[in-house]
A and B are shown apart, each in its own frame.
Chain A
Amino acid sequence: MNQTANLDFSKLVMVLAPLFFIQFILLVIALVMLVRADATRGPKWMWALIIIFINIIGPVLFFVIGRRDRR
């Protein structure tokens, strides 16, 4: 089998670890902002589900359209 990239599991983990870390930070920031927000567009539990289960896009959606209050 001709393959240029052999699936070395530890290498894959090394490559993806920083990205998972960044995604995790994004998720935590979004959740903290959600808990501290006075008002959101739609129920908070819905946003919590969106943030946790849709990676990358979920937190972004919350940041751009989820928050209603301007401080």
Chain B
Amino acid sequence: MAIWLVLVRKEVVEALRSMKAVWLPLVFILLGAMQPITSYYMPEILKHAGNMPEGSIIQIPVPSAGEVLAQTLSQYGTLGLLIVALAFMGMISSEINSGTASFTLVKPVGRTSFFLSKWAAALLLVWLSFAAGFGASWYYTVLLIGAPDAGAVVQGFLLYGLWLSFVVTLTLLFSSLLRSPAGAAFASLGTAAVLAVASSLFPHAWQPGLLAGIAAEAVQAAANPKATAVVMITAAATALAAVLACLSMKRKALP
């Protein structure tokens, strides 16, 4: 446990030194804050940008606060996931390739705690960034559009955070399995995309891909009866991915 904490601190220092702990929250804030602003100014943007015939009237209702936050979540579902996967794709494989991992593991450090420390640091960073970004989105929504129901927003935040945690864990799993960082990013994004598509094709199959949609509904204060079951399944799948990553680390021959 003590060793694990030391390793987590090393990972946090590493994230600060490589500036990952700075740019990831900043990018998430930009992504989150853009959505309410573009929704609010959309009628103006269309009026100035489009070459509409003279006198045409465009009427786009400014969406409700809950809808804007749901749109923010879908923004995180595309660009956000891509950035997260790219940020963590090399967390394990590039350390193994460069020999840093062998250097750490020469010391009396278990491979399980080696992986768990990276996992904890990655989750910490992602939750922090997502909180900052979603907070920024919430702030601008209140400023420009109106106050959403706070309980619903927090619920949607927690649900979506779990989906992000699942994808981060997948990225780390593939990072421990595959040698190439790009392969890890591709595999985890592919899995997430397949699950997301499957959630719209087969809405009755319970799997983690449903969680993003459930979070978007929760933000708009629409409770989904499947929510509890899907949360349990996603948490179990995340834990399973972490266990698999630990096993793959244990079996790995280091250079």
Residues of A32-68 whose CB lies within 8 A of B:
33, 56, 59-60, 63-65, 67
Give A1-43 as 1s and 0s: 1 = Cβ < 8 Å from B's Cβ atoms.
Answer: 1111111000010011011001101100110010000000000
Which B residues contact A (CB, under 8 angstroms)? 17-20, 22-23, 26-27, 29-30, 33-34, 37, 40-41, 43-44, 47, 57, 59, 61-62, 83, 86-87, 89, 94-95, 98, 100, 140, 143-144
Closest to A6 in B: B44
Contacts of B34 in A (CB 8 A): 19
Contacts of A56 in B (CB 8 A): 27, 30
Closest to A59 in B: B23
Pairs A–B under 8 Å by Cβ, sample size 5: A4-B43, A4-B61, A19-B30, A33-B19, A70-B100
Contacts of B144 in A (CB 8 A): 15
Interface size on A, residues (CB 8 A): 28
Closest to A71 in B: B17
Interface of A is mostly: helix
Contacts of A15 in B (CB 8 A): 37, 140, 143-144
Report how far A18 CA is from B34 CA in the complex, Å: 11
Min C-beta distance of A36 to chain B, whole Å: 11
Q: Which of A5, A16, A29, A59 contacts B62 (CB 8 A)?
A: A5
Report how far A11 CA is from B43 CA in the complex, Å: 16
Report how far A18 CA is from B89 CA in the complex, Å: 30
Do A3 and B87 have beta carbons less than 8 Å apart? no
Contacts of A5 in B (CB 8 A): 40-41, 43-44, 62
Contacts of B19 in A (CB 8 A): 29, 33, 63
Report how far A60 CA is from B24 CA in the complex, Å: 9
Contacts of B62 in A (CB 8 A): 4-5
Min C-beta distance of A23 to chain B, whole Å: 7
Contacts of A30 in B (CB 8 A): 23
Report how far A16 CA is from B144 CA in the complex, Å: 12
Apart from A22-B29, A63-B23, 20 more pairs, CB < 8 Å: A2-B57, A2-B59, A4-B61, A4-B62, A5-B40, A5-B41, A7-B44, A19-B30, A19-B33, A22-B26, A23-B30, A25-B26, A26-B26, A29-B19, A60-B83, A60-B86, A64-B83, A64-B86, A67-B18, A70-B98
